[in-house]
Amino acid sequence: GNSVTQMEGPVTLSEEAFLTINCTYTATGYPSLFWYVQYPGEGLQLLLKATKADDKGSNKGFEATYRKETTSFHLEKGSVQVSDSAVYFCALEDGGATNKLIFGTGTLLAVQP
């Protein structure tokens, strides 16, 4: 079945450092891909999405590009802030237009001042 594999955490960075969190997927067809973020004590929030190959999703300085050839959707940010500290989940939509999400295990990001 479809699945998502995420880079294990925690990832600890200093403020203004460059961030990459790796995500690869296994799927039949070309599912939509997502990054969700979970801040402490809050529910998951959609951070960005891409619905087809070569699409780039972006939001709040974060970017991820849908790479069909490498089945990847890596999350990047050029300069992280302390407020970016959270758990980041990569996900795909299972089965096409079903709205069913399959999540990775999550990556904890800790940004130090």
Partner 1 sequence: EAGVVQSPRYKIIEKKQPVAFWCNPISGHNTLYWYRQNLGQGPELLIRYENEEAVDDSQLPKDRFSAERLKGVDSTLKIQPAELGDSAVYLCASSFRTSQSRSYNEQFFGPGTRLTVL
Q: How far is the CB of 90 from partner 1 (least distance, A)?
A: 8
Q: Quick check: bond before 31 cis, omega within 30? A: no
Binding partner 1 (rule: CB under 8 A), the pick from 46, 60, 79, 81 is 46
> Which is nearer to partner 1, 3 or 81 (by Cβ)?
3
Task: Specify the DSSP class assigned to residue 83.
Answer: G
43 binds partner 1 (CB under 8 A): yes
109 binds partner 1 (CB under 8 A): no
Which of these ranges, 14-22, 57-65, 77-85, 97-105, lies near partner 1 under the rule CB under 8 A?
Answer: 97-105
State both tokens at 37. 């973020």
Distances (CA, A) of 2 to 8, 31, 66: 19, 9, 16
CA 70 to chain CA centroid, Å, is 15
96/51 Cα distance (integer angstroms): 10
Binding to partner 1, residues 66-85 (CB under 8 A): none
Name the residues that contact partner 1, by CB under 8 A: 4, 32, 34, 41-46, 49, 51, 89, 91, 93, 97-106
